[in-house]
Structure formats: structure tokens, C-alpha cells
Structure 1
Amino acid sequence: MTGSPGNRRERYRREGTDEIKRLAMLQLAESGSAGISLSAIARQMGMTGPALYRYFANRDALLTALIRDGYADLAQTIEQAATSGAALPPDRRLRQMAEAFRGWALADPHRYLLLFGTPVPGYQAPIDTFDTAFGALTVLAAVAAELLGSAEGGAPLRLATVFWTRMHGVVSLEVAGQFAHLDLDPGVFFSQEVESAVAQAGQRSAGPA
């Protein structure tokens, strides 16, 4: 059996959407976000422009889909790092999650820059996109709550945000090549920043001496 016409249409649409995203990611790697072109993708797929617009109404809709996918994949990567170390103390899990974050960014720097780099001219992400972005921070906050010994109040989220900004700052500089002319190993520097953040979190969890 080949399935109902409705199921086949859904499958073809899903396959078409995935192919458009794949080609857009290649454009992103070659030319950055400004190089994403629906018309170029349509030519590569042997489609007309109007046919492609049945999948994505315009470039902004495609960018939004790529950004949502990126945030979801990053959150999943960090969550997997937390889950794989479920038996470890929370401070070690935070270290694993930090390394997973850096590894994700370095494996696909153009995708990282799409999420966290210079805003795309003329593009404004829908507000609900940030709900997806919040996923990775939520995972960090859950482990931070374990480290602090309490999930009450905003302390875990504040700690997760501080941890996130320190990771993000170093990784963003590394992805942008800002360490290239410095006598500095970005991996070692990143680990030191992570250790410092974890140590500060540990001091907070211990309370005043």
C-alpha cells in the first residue's frame, strides 16, 4: 500500500520543507544569513518561485523556521548532556552542559551566528521564537536548582542566566575568530570561565561561612 493521497501529500510537503531548509543551511554556511535566497533554492530544486512559496511565504518565514530549529536542537543537545550525566553531581553536569554548548557552536558556527550573531537586516523574529530559545536556559536552571538545593524563587534562573552569559561570551568571541591573534587557548579559557562560574555557584549554595 502506498498510503492515502492525504498522507502522500503530507510526506511530499515534509520532504520538500526539509530539502529547502537543507539548501538554506548550505547558503548560510557559504554566505551568511544575507546569502539566503528563495529564488536560488527554487532553481536548485527545479521549481518555480510560486511553487516554493507554498512552503515558505518569504525569506523571513524560512529564517524563522531555521532559527526555531536551531534553538530546539541546541536545547536538545544541552538536555542530552544533562541527562547523560544524571548520576553525577550538579556541578559536574553543568560542566558537561557547558562543553556540549561549545561543541554545538563550533560544529556549526554559521548556525550559531544565525541565533546569536549580528541581527539579520530587515528581519524581526516573531516573539514566540524566544519561547523556543528559552528551552536551553530552562534546562540549565533545573540543574542550577539542584546545585542551590532549592527550586524556589528566581535564584536558579538568575544563576543559569549568569552561567549562560559567561559561556556565550567566550564562545561568541571564539566563533568570531577574536582569539586568533592572542596567545590564548580558547578551549582552556572557556574551561576556566566555566570553573569560575561553577565555583561561584557552589559558594552560593553553601551559604555564608
Structure 2
Amino acid sequence: MRDIVRIGREHLVASGPAALSLRAVARDLGVVSSAVYRYVRNRDELLTLLVVDAYDELGDAVDSAVEENAEPPEQFRQLGQAVRAWALHEPARYALLYGTPVPGYEAPGEQTIAPGTRVIVTLMTILEKSHSGGPRASTPPATSDEAGSAPTGRLTADFSRIRDEFRLTLTDDALARAVLAWAALFGAVSFEVFDQYGPDTFTDTGALFELHLEHLAQMAGL
């Protein structure tokens, strides 16, 4: 199975996810295609293996980078830098996770949700640690312009469910900020990986990303 995933990775880089073929994987392994079908029934199962493999490697990179005894703002910076570093080193695999969906493929939740939420769970843990750490780590007070932005209706129920699922004490406002930090973090990484800034806009994207992390940390109440 490890060899199938390894060859699948190589084909993902060379041809993209839509062009993955079990027959081509079998050819590169030096076996008949029926031998591969005993382990992986079709292209979608191969894609799922690659998706889980990529999520797990990204999660491992973040876990290794985030120091247990560091303060939450530094942990957030470590998490963000680990995501960026992995994405820039593995652009094809990052694109499989966060790029254009593969036509005709729907990832099975029972196999992909747990590995796919590892980074956000770590992020929520950091924010929970920060917001429960005392007044200096609390969410910035809302301004008069923000007074009417409190979630209502189904969104309130969603936040309540998320709190229960992840055993959080974050307020609705803090959860909203956490989700925005999550989306903005991966948005900033995606802009760089997919070259959305263009070749001549920023000469030091690493410094730009550090600045983004600082602003996101403040916005998230770190």
C-alpha cells in the first residue's frame, strides 16, 4: 500500500488528480493492474488514500512545529508557518486538498474528516488556551460598529454544536474570529501557492505572510 501511495504522489505531481490512473500506477510498480485492484478498487479510492496521506502529513508538520510550552501567539505563528512551509514544499498535494475540486470525486467523510480537521483542532486548542488564560488574552472588545454583529438563529446553534464537539468555552464572537482566522490563514497560503499575487507585486512574500499572521493573531484575540 505504501508503494501505491508513493507512486500515486508522483503521478499527482506529474499529471494532476484528474489524470490519475490505477493502470499507470500498476505499470510504474511493475505489476499487472489486477494486483493493484486487490488493494485499491478504483481511481476514487486512490484519491482518498492521497487525500488522507496529505492531510496526515500536513497535520504532522503542524504538530511538530507547535511547541507545547510556547505562548498562544507564538503557537499560532508556528502553526501558520508550518502550513505555509508544507504547502510551498508540496504544492500539488496542497492543491489536492485546497484547490479546485476533482471532477466526479467526492471525498468520503468517514475517512477524511478526522485527518482533515487536525489543523483546525490545533488552532482551536491554541485559541481556547489563549482565551482561558486571563484578561490579557481575551478577545478585543467590540466597537459600536460591531454591536449588531452578534450571531443569531442557526449560526448560534452551529457555534453551540461546535463548542460541544470540541469541548470549547469560546464565546460566539471568539468562535467567529477563530473561523475567520482559519479561513484567512489558508487563503493567504493559497494566494502564494497558486501565485495569485502575480510575479511583480511582492518581492518578499515570506515577510508579507508574517505580517498577515500578526494581524490575524490580533483579530483572533491572541
TM-score (norm 2): 0.77
Q: CA 1:154/1:79 → structure 2, altered by over 3 Å: closer, same or farther?
A: farther
Counterpart for residue 187 of structure 2: 169
Question: Contact 2:51–2:97 at 8 Å: present in 1 too?
Answer: yes
Counterpart for residue 74 of structure 1: 58
Counterpart for residue 186 of structure 1: 205
* Cα deviation digits, residues 84-142 of structure 1 (max 9, x gap): x2222111111011101100101110000011110001111112212321111101100
Match of 2:216 among 197, 202, 208: 197
Match of 1:113 among 95, 98, 112: 95
Q: In the alignment, is residue 140 of structure 1 matched against residue 157 of structure 2?
A: no
SS of 1:39's partner is helix
SS of 1:120's partner is coil
Q: In the alignment, is residue 152 of structure 1 matched against residue 169 of structure 2?
A: yes
Moved more, 33-42 or 136-145: 33-42
SS of 2:220's partner is helix
Aligned equivalents of 2:60, 2:198: Cα separation in 1: 30
Shift of 1:49: 1.5
SS of 2:109's partner is coil
Matches within 5 A, 1:34-45: 34-45=18-29
Aligned equivalents of 2:44, 2:171: Cα separation in 1: 34
SS of 1:124's partner is coil
Aligned equivalents of 1:37, 1:106: Cα separation in 2: 25
Q: Which has the higher contact order (CA 8 A, sep 6+)?
A: 2
Match of 1:103 among 79, 85, 98: 85
Aligned equivalents of 1:56, 1:158: Cα separation in 2: 40
Question: Contact 1:137–1:160 at 8 Å: present in 2 too?
Answer: no
Q: In the alignment, is residue 87 of structure 1 matched against residue 106 of structure 2?
A: no
Q: In the alignment, is residue 21 of structure 1 matched against residue 5 of structure 2?
A: yes
* Cα deviation digits, residues 32-57 of structure 1 (max 9, x gap): 11221110111122211111100100
Moved more, 121-130 or 152-161: 152-161
- Structure 2: gaps spanning 5 or more residues: 134-167
Q: CA 1:100/1:159 → structure 2, altered by over 3 Å: closer, same or farther?
A: same
1:130 partner amino acid: I
Aligned equivalents of 2:205, 2:24: Cα separation in 1: 37
Q: Which runs of 4+ in 1 moved over 6 A?
A: none
How many equivalent pairs are there? 185
Shift of 1:161: 2.2
- Structure 1: gaps spanning 5 or more residues: 1-16
Question: Contact 2:178–2:220 at 8 Å: present in 1 too?
Answer: no
Aligned equivalents of 2:169, 2:69: Cα separation in 1: 23
Aligned equivalents of 2:182, 2:22: Cα separation in 1: 34
Counterpart for residue 47 of structure 2: 63
Shift of 1:166: 1.2
